Amino acid sequence: MRKIIIDTDPGIDDALAILLALSAREELDVLALTTVNGNVDVEKVTKNAFKILDVAGRTDIPVYKGNRKPLMRENSMPADCHGDDGLGNIGVAESAGVPEEESAADFLIRKVREEKGEITLVPIGPLTNIAEAVQKDPAFVKNVKEVVIMGGAVHEGNVTPYAEFNFWVDPEAAKIVFQAGFEKIVMVGLDATKHVWLNPALRELLYQINTPVSRFIHKVTRVYADAHWRQHQKLGSELCDVLVTAYLLDNGVIDTIDAFVDVETQGLCEGASVVYPVMKYKDKMKNCEVAVNADTGRFFEIFFGYLFPEYLDTVKKMQG
Ligand code: BDR
Ligand code: CA
């Protein structure tokens, strides 16, 4: 059983990543959610974290509120595809949940110290909390088992031609994390997540499955689909963060290369991840495994297989 802490800014695709993780009760032990400013402000994302736990019926999981702004700069623009409330403006019921007293970074530091070498960090928002923990506690990095990040891109960004949203919001934090010396980092960026495309037929299947969780996912992805149509005239939506959870359940869902990754913090390419494959750049030391592709069919078999196992065959048939 893998022990994980999800550091998140929910966020529609964050919600899916959390729900998938919670459905894998035998494989993943979700110790806590930590929240961070990103898709919307930290107050809203923290409320959203509780709403998602309510949908999943997992109010036993603690939530720790994190940073309200990036590490070294003022607040950035919110993302434009998650709705004003960060959860697609679909009127998800307010939750009674309240965050723990301890801050996200202090909790991360304490928890990985208590369970040295046991915990996988899963940041699916800007890396502010993780970088804060790196800076605050010299032992933090060595206490962490691995870090599996949604962020970055080898080729094309989504906020600028070069920068992916999570790194663009807090590039200094991302740089600190890649330079910190973690035993293992996996960067699941846009080169892989662009293959995780929820097409209209699969989305309709979620409606027909007709459980509270499937109807929630159907509803919450509406605003996402609208944004993709508005921006790219494509039917459906890309689901970024949830690929990280799928990877934790089946690492064959992505292809990776060994690389040295750095992050640009200034200028035209601010927020861009610069990926040097070590096969080619022999003078660079590997600090990361970078996802360069994802298997769409396998992803949806994992997604439906865990969340709605009785529909796995239907999904396999739909995918041919
Ligand atoms: C990332 O940006 C956010 O909008 C998503 O939640 C995801 O974490 C994708 O670039
Ligand atoms: Ca996110």
Q: Which ligand is nearest to the CA of 76?
A: 1
Q: Which atom of ligand 1 is nearest to the CA of 159?
A: 10
Residue (of 191, 159, 155, 130) closest to 271 by Cα position: 159
Count of C-beta atoms within a 10 Å radius of residue 275: 21
Find, among 285, 310, 245, the residue nearest to 22 by Cα: 245
CA distances from 5 to 34, 121, 144, 165, 244 (A): 7, 5, 11, 21, 12
Strands 28-35 and 2-8: parallel
Assigned token pair, 88: 């697609």
User: How far apart, in whole angstroms, are the C-alpha atoms of residue 289 and residue 301?
Assistant: 24
Distance (Å) from CA 125 to ligand 1 centroid:
6
Among residues 91, 119, 284, 255, the alpha carbon closest in space to that of 189 is found at 255
pLDDT in tens for each of the 320 residues of the chain? 999 999 999 999 999 999 999 999 999 999 999 999 999 999 999 999 999 999 999 999 999 999 999 999 987 777 778 888 999 888 888 999 999 999 999 999 999 999 999 999 999 999 999 999 999 999 999 999 999 999 999 999 999 999 999 999 999 999 999 999 999 999 999 999 999 999 999 999 999 999 999 999 999 999 889 988 988 899 999 999 999 999 999 999 999 999 999 999 999 999 999 999 999 999 999 999 999 999 999 999 999 999 999 999 999 999 87
Instruction: List the residue whose alpha carbon is closest to atom 2 of ligand 1.
Output: 165
pTM over 0.95: yes
**Pick from 240, 272, 78, 265: which is nearest to 162 by CA?**
272
Q: If you compute the radius of gyration of the chain from its CA atoms, what whole number of angstroms results?
A: 18
Is any ligand 1 atom within 6 A of the Cβ of residue 11?
yes
Name the DSSP letter for residue 163.
Answer: B
Length, in residues, of the chain:
320
- Output the CA 320–ligand 2 centroid distance in Å: 30
Nearest bound ligand to the CA of residue 12: 1
Nearest ligand (C-alpha, residue 164): 1
Indicate which atom in ligand 1 lies nearest the CA of residue 125.
8
β-bridge pairing 185-188 and 273-277? unpaired
Name the residue with the closest Cα to ligand 1, atom 10.
165
